[in-house]
Amino acid sequence: MRGRVQGVGYRAGCVRRASELGLSGWVRNLPDGSVEVEAEGVPLMLSELLLWCEMGPYGAQVSSVASNRVPPTGSDWFEIRR
């Protein structure tokens, strides 16, 4: 995610939403000011998380979202990575 996505609770909100959707994976800030998310789970729930990512939490101003498929890792939790 690019835009104003750091310093607005984006990662915590993403963890909350992913957990509500039963997804696993992680979210982290990148040095360039963007946020990276890797999630796995039911395709419909992944689509719901993507919709959330396009909006973000209150105060975020998401300007772009890129989506790629990656192999599942089999993790069973969603966390903030540093």
- Annotation says 68 is catalytic: no
User: 4, 28, 29, 81: which is the annotated catalytic residue?
Assistant: 29
Question: What does 62-81 look like in DSSP terms, one character per residue?
Answer: EEE-------------EEEE
User: 2, 4, 11, 68: which is the annotated catalytic residue?
Assistant: 11
User: Please, is 32 exposed, middle or buried when counting C-beta atoms within 10 Å of its C-beta (0-12, 13-18, 19+)?
Assistant: exposed
Which residues are catalytically annotated?
A: 11, 29
